[in-house]
Amino acid sequence: MSNPKEILANHFGYSQFRPNQLEIIEAVLSGKDTFALLPTGGGKSICYQVPALVMDGLTLVVTPLVSLMIDQVDALKANGINAVAVHSGLNFRQIEIVLDNCAFGDVKLLFCAPERLSSPAFQERLSQFNVNLIAVDEAHCVSEWGHDFRPSYLQIKDLRQILPDVPMLALTATATPQVEKELIELLGLSNPQIYKASFEREKLSLSVRRVEDKDAKLVDILEHVGGSTIIYVRSRKKAREISQWLVLKQGISSTFYHAGLNAKSRLERQKMWKNNRHRIMVATNAFGMGIDKPDVRLVVHYDIPPSLESYYQEAGRAGRDGNLAYAVMLFHKMDEKLLKERFLIAHPDVKYLRLIYQCLANYFQLATGSGKGQSFEFDLAEFSQRFNLKSLNAYQALKRLEEEGLIMLSEALHTPSTLKINLSQQHLYEYQVANSTYDSFIKGILRLYGGQLFSDFLKIEELKISKFLNIPIKNVNEILKRLHKDDIIIYSGSSDNPNLTIVQERQNSSDILVNTRRLAALKKAGSDRLESVLDYLDNNSVCRMVSILAYFGEKGDDCTKCDICIEKKKDKIDYVAEIRNLLNTKAYSYKDIVASFLPEHEEEIKATVRRMLDAEIIKKEGSIIVLT
């Protein structure tokens, strides 16, 4: 058995574990069920990746987002770790080969979505593997009281029957005491070891700004707080509009990100921002998970999030490097009304669910009793336009139909082209001799991608093949399709489209069974979370960090950095003395004086500078200010 610290250094490049990581790993290695609550940036993935390399056998990782699943697999492979994923972007043959490699190869981690666990064929294959650990990421998704309930997570408990002696590690970054209790029960954790890092962030300044003009305040904040920034909004349209406004009208480097962009565009924008080619990322909540950028100095919530869990998870993406960072929520008097309207849209009634189900059946031309297991490319905008639906309302109804187990929506992700040779080397040679037309093409792809094509699906680029062989890309696509048709290769072209899968055979819309109890429970839980957000906004006496900690079941002291704590301190601050001390060191411009203090002090500093100028304590010399 290898040493966890050696694995951490050799494979991940870290000299030491973050708080709680080693204790969690040791609990897992001792065969105990474990619950780990590590707030955003706490390093959850290390807690199952290191044990996977310490132990013999295979670690199963259940995670909800395909895009993050693929990113993790790619990152692990780059570190020399054999990891694979089974997801909706793979066809049946590709999945079989992935699972064969798990059974007979040296695969250390297998990632899958919770929906995959309901497949009898997948369950049968799992039972044959030497599984050493079940890691459940985003484990709060199992709870109806959590902020991201996914019914498919309820199936995870069934793994206990298939893998009865395998320990389970449940990981989350956001769980209230109520969610934690339900999570442990619903996942079937047996006397779990519990590790919880504090939600407190000592260097994160939280504030709420009540404003009439959000745009003006946003620019003001961006001028006073430099560095990498995320601005969260609640609509795709607004993400685009604000980013373009910042670039065109304010001259501030910005890009935008939302789930409606194709996967290639999302990845390019993410890389540009991470590499500081763009200072600002304006995004919906589709952005952030899995993003490891430690030097984010500012997170602005331009729109109000639906829960404190979402808010704090997003705010927590600032200041992961341990330096001072800011999270600012902009609040307009109309926001409460908009928040309540969005809540109602997110919880459609049964009548509307039946309408959307019928529209789906018409859209895909499904007869009653047909469609089970079929997947279709799905364009929400086209679907909504065809049936005269509001896209947001339709989307929320589709999410509810997914929760009822009637359909399954995949996110839009880039599935690259893949290729595997379907013959032995001898049989391929015989084919080349008999079909000289394709001989040079086959030799070319073998030179490009090597003999691994005989054993694995490899990602390929048609354009690269085109340039290498000096033939039009159209010809490359035609030859690949022809060789696939002749069973010489197994080829799958790239795709950027989301899929919708019909989970159960199509029913009459009036006959679909809707769990009204669960719908009511979800609505009640959502309403409670909404009230918590409004209470947080209305609060003007309790430290912001203390409020957040209390929501998550913790106690804490005043942070001294939030807007409320600073308001309490204002009367105690001698601003004249502070500015004198500043100017004793060197001359400053007016703007630099203001920027030398926290944004929360801005108005007081400006007023103090004016008074000091009037009293001739300081004076202007051109563009700078000096002591008289």
pLDDT tens-place string over residues 191-244: 999 999 999 999 999 999 999 999 999 999 999 999 999 999 998 899 999 999
Distance CA 68, CA 62 (A): 11
Cβ-count burial 456-466 (b if 16+ within 10 Å, e if not): bbbebbbeebb
Longest dimension (CA), the chain: 98
Residues 64 and 153 in one domain: yes
123 and 247 both lie in a single domain: no
Q: Cβ distance 188 to 544 under 8 Å?
A: no
DSSP 8-state secondary structure symbol assigned to residue 146: S
Stretch 44-70: mean pLDDT: 91
What would the two tokens of residue 381 be? 């905008």
Which residues pair with residue 112 across a beta bridge? 62, 86
Residues 521, 623 within the same domain: no
Q: What is the mean pLDDT of residues 469-486?
A: 92
Q: What pLDDT, on a 0 to 100 scale, did the predictor assign at position 1?
A: 52
On whether residue 344 sits in a domain, the answer given is: yes
Distance CA 443, CA 544 (A): 65
By percentage, how much of the chain surpasses pLDDT 90?
A: 57
The yes-or-no verdict on residue 291 having pLDDT over 80 is: no
pLDDT of amino acid 289: 74
168 and 131 within one domain: yes
Q: Is residue 442 part of a domain?
A: yes
Please report which confidence band the pLDDT of residue 475 belongs to, taking 50, 70 and 90 as the band edges: very high
Write the CATH number for 406. 1.10.10.10
Residue 533 lies in a domain: no
Are 363 and 322 in the same domain? no
Of 157, 174, 196, the position where a domain reaches its end is 196
Mean confidence (pLDDT) of the chain: 89
- Same domain, yes or no: 167 and 31: yes
Domain presence at residue 534: no
Contact of 357 with 511, CB cutoff 8 Å: no
Burial class (CB in 10 A: 0-12, 13-18, 19+), 200: middle
Residue-wise burial string across 278-289, b where 16 or more C-beta atoms lie within 10 A, e elsewhere: bbbbbbbbbbbb
What type of residue sits at position 498?
P
Strand 418-421 vs strand 296-301: parallel, antiparallel, or unpaired?
unpaired
Query: Is 56 found in the same domain as 146?
Result: yes
Q: Is residue 561 part of a domain?
A: no
- The Cα 227–Cα 297 span in angstroms is 6
Nearest Cα residue to 143 out of 133, 162, 157: 157
What is the distance between the alpha carbons of residues 387 and 377, in angstroms, rounded to a whole number?
Answer: 17
Could you give the CA distance from residue 512 to residue 401 in angstroms, rounded to a whole number?
A: 10
Residue 430: what pLDDT? 92
Tokens of 206: 């939280």
Q: Which residue has the tokens 């049946």?
A: 92
Within a domain: 567:
no
CA 577 to chain centre: 46
Looking at the domain assignment, is residue 365 inside a domain?
A: yes
590 and 509 part of one domain? no
Q: What is the C-alpha separation between 277 and 293, in angstroms, rounded?
A: 13
Of 499 and 401, the structure prediction assigns the larger pLDDT to 401
Domain contains 466: yes
What's the domain range around 409? Answer: 340-413+497-526
pLDDT in tens, 401-454: 988 888 887 766 566 788 999 999 999 999 999 999 999 999 999 999 998 899
Specify the CATH number for the domain of residue 172. Answer: 3.40.50.300
What does the pLDDT read at residue 412?
60
> Is residue 573 over pLDDT 70?
no
pLDDT reading at 571 higher than 60: no
What's the gap between Cα 610 and its chain centre? 46
Residues 14 and 43 in one domain: yes
Shared-domain flag, residues 474 and 517: no
Question: What is the distance between the alpha carbons of residues 42 and 21, in angstroms, rounded to a whole number?
Answer: 9
Whole-number Å distance between alpha carbons of 509 and 525: 27
Domains in the chain, number = 5
Q: Are residues 451 and 485 in the same domain?
A: yes
The verdict on 510 and 367 lying in the same domain is yes
419 vs 599, more confident: 419
Residue 227 Ramachandran class (φ > 0 left, ψ -120 to 50 alpha, else beta): left
Of 112-116, 262-266, 432-436, 581-585, the range with the lowest mean pLDDT is 262-266
Residue with the two structure tokens 């905008």 = 381
Q: Looking at residue 606, which CATH number applies to its domain?
A: 1.10.10
Percent of the chain with pLDDT over 70: 98
